[in-house]
Amino acid sequence: MKKLFKTALAATLSLALAISLAACTSGGRTEQPASPAASSTDSSNAAPDTSINANGFAADATIGVSLPWLGTQNWQEASDMFKNQLETAGFKAIIQAADNKVPQQQSQIESMIENGAKVIVVGPIDGSQLGTVLEKAKDAGIAVIGYDRLLENTTGVDGVVQFGSIETGRLQGQALLDGLAKVKGAGPYNIELFGGGPADPNAPNFFKGAMEILQPKIDDGALTVVSGQTDFTQCATLDWDNAKAQSRMDSILSGFYSDKEIHGVLSPNDGIARAIITASENAGQQIPVVSGLDAENESVEWVWSGRQYSTVAKPTDVLVAKTIEIIKSLQGGNGMPATDVKANNGKIDVNIYELPPVVVTKDNAKEIFANDPARMELLK
């Protein structure tokens, strides 16, 4: 596995086209259970789907990109990169963000349909609340590509580009175990669990992947969740809100750790990780081992300084580049590329174009960001 991640990483950071092609096939794994029909069929050799925009469309066509918000570094990067790369490719780009308001995102997608978009890329606020407008887009002959998150309970989606969400959770869980052993010495360890926003279909998958690693250690007593809060519904952070996460951490520490040390915390992303660390410091605790996600600049600095143990890198440039590769395939009349990874969204089995995430710690940060000058500047 270590060799595999290094191989994937090298390709990711060089932005070689090969990673995009290789990432489309990952041994038939599904991010969510596929339907029996999909599970019994190996589509790795299937011809590309040419039913969408079978004749292609103009090289200067309008492409819409609907993002949930610009409140974190990865979404702001996505907005900037989509605009630059789509326009460089010759397309007219409509890039909009919906400030985490579902009705606003619905309205923005409606506007993109009315403005003649040939493809609409959607990073949903709530993947289950866009079915009607996405099906309207499909009825108009518009291709719909999910970005970073699954589009649920709708037939109006042709594929989703994302990093493996369950694998991301596994990396977070394993990093927490590794960090506890390295930083806190011999166990057993007191830990707490945090999840992401429940409206984001990735969030329960992150949690599920992490618990695949952590639950056996909870069962055998190596880890103790002192609060007893181990279900995703108990641990989820509404709207991925850092302030809500810090408030919950404050309550956990005051209610369960007045006479105990907290050793580690599973965090679903970097903003929440920093909130957890801040709450721990405010409570007079030694900084626990904390996981993260997105390799945000501030957390990269914290990882390098030792305040945050780990993050998981999901390079936005690679995700955007893969999406634009699919758009170019559609524009050329070649349809959606083939993939053998599928996820059931509640109505159909959706093609998933899955990319490999990679865990980042102080030990490997320079290797991982060797081709990222901006983040290398943070490692000083």
pLDDT digits (tens, 9 = 90+) for 240-289: 999 999 999 999 999 999 999 999 999 999 999 999 999 999 999 999 99
Rounded Cα gap, residues 233 and 18, in angstroms: 39
pLDDT at 12 exceeding the cut of 50: no
Question: How many residues in total does the chain contain?
Answer: 380
DSSP sequence for 29-69: --SSPPPHHHHT---TTPPPB-SSSTT---TT-EEEEEES-
Rounded Cα gap, residues 263 and 176, in angstroms: 10
Contact 98, 104 (CB under 8 A): yes
- Full-model pTM: 0.81
Please give the pLDDT value at position 298. Answer: 97
Tell me the CATH number of domain 165-313, given options 3.30.470.30, 1.20.1530.20, 3.40.50.2300, 1.10.10.10.
Answer: 3.40.50.2300
> How far from 15 is each of 4, 18, 169, 318, CA to CA, in Å?
17, 8, 24, 7
Average pLDDT over residues 126-130: 94
Longest dimension (CA), the chain: 68
Amino acid in the structure at residue 308: Q
Owner of token pair 């649920």: 152
Contact 277, 302 (CB under 8 A): yes
Among residues 123, 157, 130, the alpha carbon closest in space to that of 316 is found at 123
Residues 299-312 as b/e (b if ≥16 CB within 10 A, e otherwise) read bbebbbeebbbbbb
Average pLDDT over residues 15-29: 36
Rounded Cα gap, residues 205 and 262, in angstroms: 25
DSSP sequence for 84-134: HHHHHTT-EEEEEE-TT-HHHHHHHHHHHHHTT-SEEEE--SSTTS-HHHH
Residue 191 sits at φ, ψ, to 5 deg, of -135, 165
Among residues 86, 53, 21, the alpha carbon closest in space to that of 334 is found at 53
Contact 124, 146 (CB under 8 A): yes
Strand order of the sheet with strand 119-122?
92-97, 62-67, 119-122, 143-147, 159-163, 349-355, 342-344
Q: What's the whole-number average pLDDT of the chain?
A: 88
pLDDT, tens only, 208-249: 999 999 999 999 999 999 999 999 999 999 999 999 999 999
pLDDT at 79 exceeding the cut of 50: yes
Q: Give residue 172's Cα distance to chain centre.
A: 12
Please give the pLDDT value at position 52. Answer: 60
Q: Over pLDDT 90: what percentage of the chain?
A: 85
pLDDT at 20 exceeding the cut of 60: no
Class of domain 2-157+316-356: alpha beta
Same fold, 2-157+316-356 and 165-313: yes
For the chain, domain boundaries: 2-157+316-356, 165-313
> How far from 275 is each of 81, 193, 249, 299, CA to CA, in Å?
28, 13, 8, 11
Rounded Cα gap, residues 311 and 299, in angstroms: 7
Query: Which pLDDT band, with edges at 50, 70 and 90, does 338 fall under?
Result: very high
CA quadruple 373, 314, 195, 198: dihedral positive or negative?
positive
141 or 55, greater pLDDT: 141
Please give the pLDDT value at position 110. Answer: 98
